[in-house]
Amino acid sequence: MRVLIVNGFDSGDDTLADELEHYLAGAGHQCVRTNLEADGFGRFMSAAERVAYHSERPLITPETQTAARQLLETQAIVILYPQRHRGFPARVKSWNERVFVPGVGFRFKPSGVVTGALDHLKQALIVEVAATSQSRLGELWGRVANHIHNRSLPGPTLARSFRLTSNRKCRAKFRVTDGTDSTTLFRQLDRWR
């Protein structure tokens, strides 16, 4: 399976992405990696992109065109990002808004109803790395469970959007880790076929 690893960390902070790529490649998956900061996703959607969003050609920058092509050529995606004020960083939001445009992330039926466009996507894993010590991980998981229950964290919302924009068989999961032990993430990836 071809897997896109989207690294939402600062350039040079590739430890977790390296571990996941090594693990996935060892399991026979073909990995493609992108670092959002290095690829120009540090800013929000420009005024020109907002105008183009509803046009026939919504992808007007080289970084969004490359990112859309990568997304459309993969069967699985892993998005890694550091927790920022109980949410994801601006560059992850920028990537999501600027790449999941009409024709890439969703389509409109003739009736105007929105339908998914990522029919090829089988797996999606959204990984938030919390800046917390091991002793506070239990407290973190309690907070995450509460937020998942009321659906207010961006990570679970992003996972749900992958389910909605792909086929019904797409398995999209959200996980929180402190970044020191990748074992639970690897167990999640063991189910990927």
The residue ranges of every structural domain in the chain are: 2-190
Which superfamily is assigned to 2-190 in CATH? Answer: Flavodoxin domain (3.40.50.360)
pLDDT of 43 higher than 90: no
3-state secondary structure of 73: coil
Q: Looking at this protein, which amino acid is placed at residue 18?
A: D
Between 105 and 152, residue with greater pLDDT:
105
pLDDT for residue 174? 85
pLDDT of 149 higher than 50: no
pLDDT for residue 145? 53
Measured CA to CA, the distance from residue 160 to residue 164 in angstroms comes to: 6
Ranked by mean pLDDT, the top range of 19-33, 38-52, 108-122 is 19-33
Q: What is the mean pLDDT of residues 132-138?
A: 49
Q: What is the mean pLDDT of the chain?
A: 82
Give percent of the chain with pLDDT exceeding 70.
85
Could you tell me which of 118, 93, 100, 115 has the C-alpha nearest to residue 53? 100
150 falls in which pLDDT band (50, 70, 90)? Answer: very low
3-state secondary structure of 33: strand
21 falls in which pLDDT band (50, 70, 90)? Answer: very high
Between 124 and 152, residue with greater pLDDT:
124
